[in-house]
C-alpha cells in the first residue's frame, strides 16, 4: 500500500484542491511528490501523459486537475467542460493502469448526482435521475470517470477510487467573478462593495441551500484514503455545515463590512439546484469525518483573498 516513501503524482497541484493536497502531504512527511506545470505537460494529450508516467513511474496518482467553474461558466462553455475533463481523467486513468499505478484517486463534485433526489444524497443514487442543466457537461464527464474507475476495478482488480466532495473553499481559490464558485464570488463582491457604494447585487434568490467544506479537510481525506483499501469506488466527502446562499452572504458580510447592503436579482434560473447535501455515512464507516471550524476557515479564506490583491 501507499506510504511516506511512495512516489505520488499530484495532477493539478496549482489549483485550490491540488495545492492543498500538496501542502498537506508535505506537512505529513511524504518525500516523493511529483508535480509538473501544465505548460510542460498537457494532461489532455494522451501520448504526453503516458510518456511522463512511463518515465516517472508513480505508485499513486491524484487527479485534482480539472476544468471547473461556477454556474455561468458551465452554461457558457459546455463543450470545453465535457471535452477537457473527459480527456484529462481518461488519459490519467488509462495510462496509470498501463504503467502499474497501485492507487488512483479521482476528484469530482456533488453535481454528479441527479437534481431532484431526496437529501442527503447516497452514493448509489448516481444515474437515478436527470442532472441539473446548468452544469450537465461537467457532471457527465465526471460520471464517465467514475464509471471508468468502476470498470477498471471490476476487470483488472485495481483499487482506484472517486472522492466526491461538496462545495469547496479555501486558500488559492478562484475569485474571478465570471468563473468562480459561489463563496469566493461572495467574498470578492462584498469586498468590492465595501470599498465603493456599500451595495452588492447577487445572482438568484439566495434561497438555495449549499453544503460547504474547507479544502484542507478534503486534502486530509485524500491522504487518508490513499492508504485505505476500500470495497467501493465512489465515496462522498461532505461537511457538517449547510446554509442558504443568503446566510453565507451574511456571514461574509459580517467578516468584511457589516454596513454592506445585500440585494438579490431574484433570477431563479441562476439559482441552480435548490439543495445539495451529501450523505457522508460511508466515509464515516471507513473512519473519516470532517472537523471543520467554519468561522476560522472563512477567516483564512478572506485573508487569502486580501493577499491575492497585493
b/e for 102-111, b at 16 or more Cβ within 10 A? Answer: bbbbbbbbbb
Identify the residue whose cell numbers are 511528490.
33
* 310 residues of the chain, pLDDT tens digit each: 899 999 999 999 999 999 999 999 999 999 999 999 999 999 999 999 999 999 999 999 999 999 887 777 788 889 999 999 999 999 999 999 999 999 999 999 888 999 888 889 999 999 999 998 888 999 999 999 999 999 999 999 999 999 999 999 999 998 887 667 889 999 999 999 999 999 999 989 999 999 999 999 999 999 999 999 999 999 999 998 999 999 999 999 999 999 999 999 999 888 877 888 999 999 999 999 999 999 999 999 999 999 998 7
Report how far residue 237's alpha carbon sits from residue 282's, in angstroms, rounded to the nearest whole number: 9
Cell of 147: 464509471
The count of other CB atoms within 10 Å of the CB of residue 150 is 16
CA neighbor of 182 nearest in space, from 172, 194, 168:
168
Give the pLDDT of residue 243. Answer: 95
pTM value? Answer: 0.92
Indicate which residues carry an active-site annotation: 138
- Opening angle at CA 274, ends 268 and 277, nearest 5: 155
Give the pLDDT of residue 116. Answer: 83
Cis omega (within 30 of 0) for bond into 120: yes
Which domains are delineated in the chain?
A: 7-173+212-238+276-292 (3.40.50.720)
Give the pLDDT of residue 68. Answer: 82
Report how far residue 103's alpha carbon sits from residue 6's, in angstroms, rounded to the nearest whole number: 10
Amino acid at each position: 500500500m501507499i506510504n511516506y516513501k511512495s512516489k505520488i503524482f499530484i495532477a493539478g497541484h496549482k489549483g485550490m484542491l491540488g495545492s492543498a493536497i500538496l501542502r498537506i502531504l508535505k506537512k505529513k512527511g511524504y518525500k516523493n511528490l511529483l508535480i509538473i506545470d501544465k505548460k510542460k505537460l498537457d494532461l489532455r494529450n494522451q501520448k504526453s501523459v503516458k510518456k511522463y508516467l512511463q518515465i516517472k513511474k508513480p505508485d499513486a496518482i491524484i487527479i485534482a486537475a480539472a476544468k471547473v467553474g461556477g454556474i455561468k461558466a458551465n452554461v457558457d462553455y459546455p463543450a470545453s467542460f465535457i471535452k477537457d475533463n473527459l480527456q484529462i481523467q481518461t488519459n490519467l486513468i488509462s495510462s496509470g493502469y498501463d504503467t502499474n499505478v497501485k492507487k488512483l484517486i479521482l476528484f469530482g463534485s456533488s453535481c454528479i448526482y441527479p437534481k431532484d433526489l431526496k437529501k442527503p444524497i447516497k452514493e448509489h443514487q448516481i444515474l437515478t435521475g436527470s442532472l441539473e442543466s446548468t452544469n450537465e457537461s461537467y457532471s457527465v464527464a465526471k460520471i464517465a470517470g467514475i464509471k471508468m474507475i468502476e470498470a477498471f476495478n471490476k476487470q483488472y482488480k485495481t483499487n482506484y477510487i472517486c472522492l466526491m466532495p461538496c462545495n469547496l473553499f479555501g486558500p488559492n481559490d478562484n475569485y474571478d467573478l465570471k468563473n468562480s464558485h459561489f463563496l469566493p464570488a461572495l467574498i470578492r463582491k462584498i469586498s468590492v462593495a465595501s470599498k465603493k457604494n456599500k451595495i452588492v447585487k447577487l445572482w438568484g434568490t439566495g434561497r438555495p441551500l449549499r453544503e460547504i467544506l474547507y479544502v484542507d479537510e478534503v486534502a486530509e481525506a485524500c491522504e487518508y484514503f490513499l492508504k485505505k483499501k476500500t470495497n467501493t469506488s465512489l465515496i462522498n466527502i461532505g461537511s457538517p455545515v449547510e446554509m442558504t446562499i443568503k446566510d453565507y452572504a451574511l456571514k461574509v458580510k459580517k467578516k468584511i463590512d457589516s454596513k454592506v447592503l445585500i440585494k438579490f436579482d431574484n433570477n431563479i434560473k441562476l439559482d441552480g439546484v435548490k439543495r445539495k447535501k451529501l450523505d457522508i455515512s460511508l466515509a464515516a464507516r471507513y473512519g473519516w469525518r470532517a472537523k471543520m471550524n467554519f468561522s476560522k476557515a472563512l477567516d483564512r479564506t478572506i485573508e487569502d483573498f486580501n493577499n491575492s490583491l497585493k
